[in-house]
Structure 1
Amino acid sequence: MRQSRFTEERIIAILREHEAGSKTGEVCRKYGVSSATFYKWKAKYGGLDVSEARRLKVLTDENAKLKKLLAEAMLDNAMLKDLKRKKMVTPAAKRQAVAYLCSQYEVSQRRACSAIGVDRTSVRYRSRRSDDGVIRARLRELATTRRRFGYRRLLLMIRGEGLKVNHKKLRRLYAEERLQVRRRGGRKRALGTRAPMTLPQAPNQRWSLDFVSDTLTDSRKFRMLAVVDDFTRECIVLVADTSLSGARVTRELDTAIANRGRPLMIVSDNGTEFTSTAILSWSQQTGIEWHYIAPGKPQQNAFVESFNGRLRDELLNETLFSSLDHARRLLADWQKDYNTVRPHSSIGNLPPAIYAKLTASDMQRDGTLRYVEGSAPRPVASPSQTGSNDPGALPIAG
């Protein structure tokens, strides 16, 4: 902005001359200014003396400085908020942050370093260290084949190949390549089989297990173990207790096998009771195949999940259990009614016990399997990823 040739003292003197009686046109011609400039002076300095004009100038300058400081503080605050989610621990991260501020907010490197408190020498530093590409490549190759080896064993193998490297340097390269061995957490669990499951074609080919929970009238919780034959839809076991461990599950299965016969396969989810050492040992001793569904896929255990829905809808949600003995009596009565009286839509609206007897009599008579189409559709399975692609196979569990 071009500086005016009239000082504030001179402008006030010209306004005094006009107030003394001189006409506006004469004053403008005398000092070579336009009438607009004269009236602007009058609006700004009219009625002021020289000391007041000087104080006004000082206040104006201070106001401009304060505005500039406020604008700079607001810009610094905006830059820091923008970098709030960025971790700036290493020098490389700080260099990236400074470059980001310079490009995003169009500020100088000095201003960006001052805003985030970084020394400019560290930002301008450029490493002259070699990249050690040969050692890095060999380190990655060895870590790929020896996944459980730490940097100490890898150092011994690299030195055995004739490469000279310091142990501190190798550790730094090992960390920069992110080759740290992750610690394995948790205990070993029973894996069971992961082969495709075929649909059952006869009784005792496959049983399904699951837990159901409910509360008594005094707010105590109890659990129920449900075991279902996937072909006949019979409820084989329905036992309630406050605690049902893996050992208790094996005892209930032994009792059911003694009364009914042993199944070829048992299906369950990945609960802690079903993946316990007691279940794994029992499966190995009896030779019964135990199949675990994929985690988070209850539809792969659809038979017992459907049974749980009927149990909760028809009994649990309709009854208040005063004690555990009361719950056991009602569960036994409901199990008997479910197996012998209640019609099941997926087996031709027959009770499961009657359907099982008809199937057993047909197989004894002519060796063929009796299957009664019901109102519910049969389960449709997608082709398995490995093994048989028979349409009668359920999806692979994982």
Structure 2
Amino acid sequence: MCDVTGLSQRRACRLTGLSLSTCRYDAQRPSADAHLSGRITELALERRRFGYRRIWQLLRREGLHVNHKRVYRIYHLNGLSVKRRRRGKGLATERFSPLRPDAPNLTWSMDFVMDALATGRRLKCLTCVDDFTKECLTITAAFGISGVQVTRILDSIALFRGYPATIRTDQGPEFTCRALDQWAFEHSVELRLIQPGKPTQNGFIESFNGRFRDECLNEHWFSDIVHARKTINDWRQDYNECRPHSLLDYQTPSEFAADWRNRRYEEKSTWTDPTPVDDPAL
């Protein structure tokens, strides 16, 4: 219109009732999102069970400060949405949210996760997490794990971080045996058993086991026990050091634990090193 009539943009917009800002708006070319779209696709293919929010957090860690809505739009346009796995309907159970402790090593949660090798041989994984920091303390994979072996695994964990005040488990035979009971007595550890048939009372480990199965066990086909242990150990390290945790404000468990220790150290330094006060009598 401006070219034909010779009117200015402002005059032409006033006559047509069009906003001047709308007329002058320069839409972004699709190529502006090309680099971001490529990186989002790479991360989504690398971590197939991550949703757009965790992808967004990984981008922020790489220095790409982009709005989460933009990530959501590109994520869905590229067809990267996580496919939900169908689950069988379970019995309705009473919902129970265990209280989260306020310091590390107050409560650990333990459980077993079952899987199988490509040969069909059953695989048993002992999982243990710290309920406060969400650190995965161990995932021990073996063909069989007895109560005595559970105590040895716990001793190996305690070498690096000490013994917990409480360990929450179900009432499986490995957790109710005499060996674990004697071990708990010797190290002043309280064994807190949940009620039979109510796994939600051990919600922290159940949530972790769900992530472990969804992101690791269901994504790999283990040829032998060595392959399984290496893959599981790599996933555990990634979970602790790289995977953003929503309950920790998208920090990794290792970052959250380190920040907590630093804050405690600073608080302790403040308590033990008060500023000197001048004595007016001197």
**TM surpasses 0.5:** yes
**Counterparts in 2 of 1:350-365, with a 5 A limit?**
350-365=251-266
**1:239 is matched with which residue?**
140
Q: CA deviation at 1:260?
A: 1.3
Q: Which one of 230, 236, 241 corresponds to residue 335 of structure 1?
A: 236
Q: CA deviation at 1:225?
A: 0.3
Residue 248 (1) aligns with residue 134 (2): no
Q: TM-score, normalised by structure 2?
A: 0.60
**1:316 is matched with which residue?**
217
Hey, what's the Cα distance between the residues in 1 that align with 2:268 and 2:166?
A: 22
List gaps (5 residues or longer) in structure 1: 1-196, 369-398
* One-letter amino acid of the counterpart of residue 234, structure 1: E
Over 3 Å counting, the alpha-carbon distance change for 1:198 and 1:307 in structure 2 is: closer
Residues 97-146 of structure 1, C-alpha deviations (whole Å, 9 max, x = no match): xxxxxxxxxxxxxxxxxxxxxxxxxxxxxxxxxxxxxxxxxxxxxxxxxx
Hey, what's the Cα distance between the residues in 1 that align with 2:254 and 2:242?
A: 9
**1:264 is matched with which residue?**
165
**Counterparts in 2 of 1:1-398, with a 5 A limit?**
198-367=99-268
3-state SS, counterpart of residue 141 of structure 2: strand
3-state SS, counterpart of residue 291 of structure 1: strand
Residues 270-309 of structure 1, C-alpha deviations (whole Å, 9 max, x = no match): 0010001111111111111110011111111011100100
Hey, what's the Cα distance between the residues in 2 that align with 1:262 and 1:367?
A: 22
Hey, what's the Cα distance between the residues in 2 that align with 1:346 and 1:198?
A: 14
Hey, what's the Cα distance between the residues in 2 that align with 1:225 and 1:289?
A: 19
Q: CA deviation at 1:367?
A: 4.8
**1:132 is matched with which residue?**
none
Q: CA deviation at 1:262?
A: 1.2
Hey, what's the Cα distance between the residues in 2 that align with 1:313 and 1:199?
A: 24
Q: CA deviation at 1:199?
A: 3.0
Q: CA deviation at 1:223?
A: 0.3
Off by >4 Å, runs of 4+ in structure 1: none
Q: TM-score, normalised by structure 1?
A: 0.42
List gaps (5 residues or longer) in structure 2: 1-97, 270-282
* One-letter amino acid of the counterpart of residue 205, structure 2: V
Hey, what's the Cα distance between the residues in 2 that align with 1:308 and 1:198?
A: 18
3-state SS, counterpart of residue 219 of structure 1: coil
Hey, what's the Cα distance between the residues in 1 that align with 2:238 and 2:146?
A: 27
3-state SS, counterpart of residue 337 of structure 1: helix
Q: CA deviation at 1:320?
A: 0.2
Hey, what's the Cα distance between the residues in 2 that align with 1:258 and 1:246?
A: 19
Residues 152-193 of structure 1, C-alpha deviations (whole Å, 9 max, x = no match): xxxxxxxxxxxxxxxxxxxxxxxxxxxxxxxxxxxxxxxxxx
Root-mean-square deviation (CA, aligned residues, Å) is 1.3
Which structure would you say has the larger Rg? 1
Task: State the identity as a percent.
Answer: 44
Q: Which has the higher contact order (CA 8 A, sep 6+)?
A: 2
> Aligned residue pairs: how many?
172
* One-letter amino acid of the counterpart of residue 313, structure 1: D
